[in-house]
Structure 1
Amino acid sequence: MAGPKPQPFQARDKLAFLLALVPYLMDHDRVTVTEAAEHFAVEPEQIRDAVNLIAVSGLPGETSAYQHDDLFDIDWDAFENDDEIVLTNRVAIDDSPRFSAREASALIMGLQYLSALPEYADRASIASLIAKLSRGTSGAVAPVSVGGAESLESLTPSLALIRESVDKGLQLEFDYLNARGERERRRVDALQIESIDADWYLRGWCHLREAVRTFRLDRISGAVVTDAAIEHRASDVRLPALFEGSPDDLEVVIDVEASAMPLLADFIPDGARSTPDGGRIRTTLRVSHYHGLKRLIASMPGVVTVIAPEAARAAVAEWAAAGAERYR
């Protein structure tokens, strides 16, 4: 059964359509009316009307009067005889500001990063946009790549399975080593991949905990894609901040310089007791694992001292000793 017939454009819609059609025609040296109509999901006659309007559009020159070179022009023989659209003169758009090579390189790197994430993997639109950025700059774009994105699969063997789980809409099952050194079998609906520095995390709905949980990819092993369909998607649940507190968090008592307290605000739970002692304050942090605690303490040398528990003190001491050893 044929779909509903496209309705005539309103004035605002017609302008938006023309603004989209001109770049499309510029990206395609030669395109048929039928191909353009299918691309924009409109009737071929609407494409022909738009092309006729483009042909009398332009930008007046210094005399404020339109000359031939101030208007768009098309190959009328191809248009009238073969129903093909070929722009032979382009106005104003060729002179519009373009991304510099450096700006385009930065955008391309960001797109490469996105293409490494399961929810964006194999998106043809990303590859198309990268190609357009490479062509549409004011200078040559240097070959660039995001090291973290390219090395992600080699660093995390489970990534391919996570992608497969997302693509097929099936639950993912794996062994997970938690912050306490305990290994549990988890079954999750994979929702999103995120990274902080060199660490990568899977956000997923955990069927064991019946809530959204965060899993470090390097702590995942034995992953398999199950036959069970996922029950939750990223659009269906609220994804908390990456390090938002959870009942599984670890509590750590620290002494910190009073002036540095604002730097730790995100890690201090509501209602935590803070006791001043001279110029320092004793308070409690909540962290998801001691690996994150090590990084946090290392970023504030001499400002923060871990008091308890002993496992937290040992983790930080080992981290510091390993770092000092590298300088010998």
Structure 2
Amino acid sequence: MTCATTPAILRLSNPSSSTKQFDRVMRRWRWLMPDSRRMNAFDRYNFLLPLIGYLMRNPETTLSAVASHFGVDEVFVREALTTLMSTATYKDFDRTYYMFDVEKLDDEGIISVWQGDVIEDAPRLSARQASALAAGLSIMSTLPEFSSEHEIAELLEILSEGTTESGPAAIHYRPGPIDSDVAVIRKAMLNNHRIECVYRNIRGETSTRQIDPLRLDTRGNIWFLRGYCLIHKELRNFRLDHMGSAVELEVEICDEAKKIQDIDDAEYQSSETDITVTVEVDPEAYSMLGDFSAQIIKEDRKSNVITASIKIGYLPYLGKVIAHYGGAARVLEPASARQVVRNYALTALGLEPEGLPEQD
């Protein structure tokens, strides 16, 4: 792994204090750690950051202690140590910043830090890095299991006290609120267990579902669970604000869920019974194309207007989707879809909706 250095334009005003607060928060983070067998490249990189901090404070420790501290297996820790020993910078390729006693590690399972020059300095962050940290901490503070953690507020205050050369460092981002069900879901994900919950779909129908949870995401101010639906036998998105009474089942997720490697970031997952709708969108509504995994039909390079097709499983839902973009998205066909959007607008204006034409 090769890491580029970033110009240090922010210094934390009290490095020792921030290290203590960081350690407290990371002890809680350990519980949120995804299964190492299912970690992607970003998860593995993010694991290296707290690992460096841990080894800085514990230069002589055991492999089993590190694995236990972070809730991962020893093989995964060994792989991370190998990565650290090959870390360099663009400016200094021939220098190794992290060295460990390999014989002690192999023979006795002891991690002994020989060299760690780069982690001895006080933390220095760019404005972008500090903003990313502040945004992440803000999101953590909205989670039920962190709602009473004063250490997060103290860390945010420490970040805001840093001096920068390019404007304020901290950008606070807060997605919509979620309830305690998310703690149940996350625990089930860590245990590779199935969940059961009461769920209300976009038609307003309520049913009890069993879902194999795979990932939690936010889109705007809405939280989603990406999970394998046992009813439809495929990957689906479930809104957390439509979910209730979640419980973890002592049942391992199915083999089909385990085989899912790449999860589409699209908000809506299409199926064979969906209706194809042709839309025209301005740049302000481009995000809709990603949300619905749109197929581009044509693009006007002068006006930047894109014509594309999207899949809709429940046509009455389309009116709300199009209205969200305030005129930047328009339905071209079929006629039934255009009428749904028109009726939605009429209802919003307090007028009587019109009859729907025959679906084509």
User: Please, what TM-score do these two structures have when normalized by structure 1?
Assistant: 0.50
- Higher-RCO chain (CA-CA 8 Å, sequence separation at least 6): 2
In our comparison, the structure showing a higher alpha carbon Rg is 1
User: Please, what TM-score do these two structures have when normalized by structure 2?
Assistant: 0.46
